[in-house]
Structure 1
């Protein structure tokens, strides 16, 4: 991780779960980290929870990644204040309670696509543009995908709703961006990390209650995977990393 010392990483969805765990891990490993999320108070609490010597290297901004202008403004702030983003950990993602077949669910369906797909597009675009402006050719874009972005698991009584289709789109976007990064003659890497079930706020509490012994990863397990992927040698790109808890049935 030495080459990332004091370089800037932007982490979206940083107010809880995987995003918060990534912020803590990357700051501890010497990066300057900017956490983006809608819940500003949670970001303030995250900063306060860090050891004193790490707090100076953690910054945060309120940002809803589904709103393009907010993303543009956030990355402009990173450029002006910290010199630009070298690493992006695109973690922000949501699901909804609405089934695809429910009535009057257009707003729910759109919100998932706006956050999980277009939010990723806006953030990846702005991070890469920041790198291009500064002639940074060794950046890294990491997206927290899902096993549901490759195969829709069958779970009796549960539907992945619009979440799985949005993650399938993310899988395709990773390959499109890999090709575009190459076309623009950079060595910027892109990695999709696809966890199985992770014990975070996005997991339906009813699902947990119905399956009390359901194997789940910890948010810290995914943060470890992020660090593993960004510290590979210059000639190595981990395109897709799938991690599952021991005992997962799908």
Structure 2
């Protein structure tokens, strides 16, 4: 991880669960971390907890990633304040049991806005930052599978992210960039919030295995493209979409 030391990682949906665990892993690996979430109050205690050992290396920015202007403004702040983005972890997502037959159009649009459009907007802004500096950057989508197999619209959005990952890989290749892109797809994981557990509690499946996968991807040599990683707890019976 020496090549990433003192470089800037932006993590969306960082207030709890996978996002927070990845933030800890990257801080401990020597990166400067910008944690983005629409619930910054949940990040304050987290920041204070790590302020002694990681002074000045952990930054909190409030942002609703479904708001285009807020999202662009955050990436502009990173550019002005920290010099730009080197690693983007697209972790923010929203799930819901929205029926394909009886659901409201507004519910479908919200799922697409957060899980697909916002993810691609963050990616676009991060890539622009990386290309301005001809940086060897990395984009990682945390592409969760549905916690309930009946969440069909959310599952469809997850498949769109897989398609986006391949499309982005091709566009990054065609423009001659040094940027790699990866989708990490956890199966059924437990995203427990601060209200349910302490900051130093032993990690559960999501906390231990997803950050390990992120670090593995970042450690690979520049000429290695890790396209997709699928993680499932042993014994899981749910049939995940392709």
Instruction: Give yes or no for TM over 0.5.
Output: yes
CA–CA distance in structure 1, aligned partners of residues 182 and 76 of structure 2:
24
Aligned residue number for residue 200 of structure 1: 191
Aligned-CA RMSD value: 1.7
Aligned residue number for residue 128 of structure 1: 127
Aligned residue number for residue 208 of structure 1: none
Q: Is the 8 A contact 1:147 1:242 kept in 2?
A: no
Q: Residues 7-22 of structure 1 correspond to what in structure 2 (within 5 A)?
A: 7-22=7-22
* Corresponding position: 1:231 with 2:230: no
CA–CA distance in structure 2, aligned partners of residues 55 and 196 of structure 1:
34
Structure 2: unaligned runs, 5 residues or longer: 194-203
CA–CA distance in structure 2, aligned partners of residues 134 and 232 of structure 1:
21
CA–CA distance in structure 2, aligned partners of residues 111 and 220 of structure 1:
30
Q: Is the 8 A contact 2:134 2:178 kept in 1?
A: no
CA–CA distance in structure 1, aligned partners of residues 73 and 226 of structure 2:
30
Aligned residue number for residue 112 of structure 2: 113
3-state SS of paired residue (1:190): strand
* Corresponding position: 1:221 with 2:212: no
CA–CA distance in structure 2, aligned partners of residues 106 and 90 of structure 1:
25
Q: Is the 8 A contact 1:48 1:55 kept in 2?
A: no
Instruction: State the Cα distance separating 1:5 from its structure 2 match.
Output: 0.2
Q: Residues 39-188 of structure 1 correspond to what in structure 2 (within 5 A)?
A: 39-50=39-50, 52-103=52-103, 105-136=104-135, 138-147=136-145, 159-188=150-179
CA–CA distance in structure 1, aligned partners of residues 131 and 169 of structure 2:
15
TM-score normalised over the length of structure 1: 0.86
CA–CA distance in structure 2, aligned partners of residues 39 and 56 of structure 1:
21
3-state SS of paired residue (2:152): coil
Give runs of ≥4 in structure 1 deviating > 6 Å: none
CA–CA distance in structure 2, aligned partners of residues 139 and 159 of structure 1:
36
Q: Is the 8 A contact 1:5 1:31 kept in 2?
A: yes
CA–CA distance in structure 2, aligned partners of residues 112 and 147 of structure 1:
13
3-state SS of paired residue (1:53): coil
Moved more, 87-96 or 51-60: 51-60
Q: Is the 8 A contact 2:17 2:207 kept in 1?
A: yes
Instruction: State the Cα distance separating 1:53 from its structure 2 match.
Output: 1.8
CA offsets 1:131-185 (integer angstroms, 9 cap, x no match):
111221x10000011356xxxx9x6xx5113210110110000000000100110
CA–CA distance in structure 1, aligned partners of residues 134 and 177 of structure 2:
9
Structure 1: unaligned runs, 5 residues or longer: 203-215
Which of 225, 231, 234 is equivalent to 1:243?
231
Instruction: State the Cα distance separating 1:119 from its structure 2 match.
Output: 0.8
Instruction: State the Cα distance separating 1:37 from its structure 2 match.
Output: 0.6
Moved more, 222-231 or 6-15: 222-231
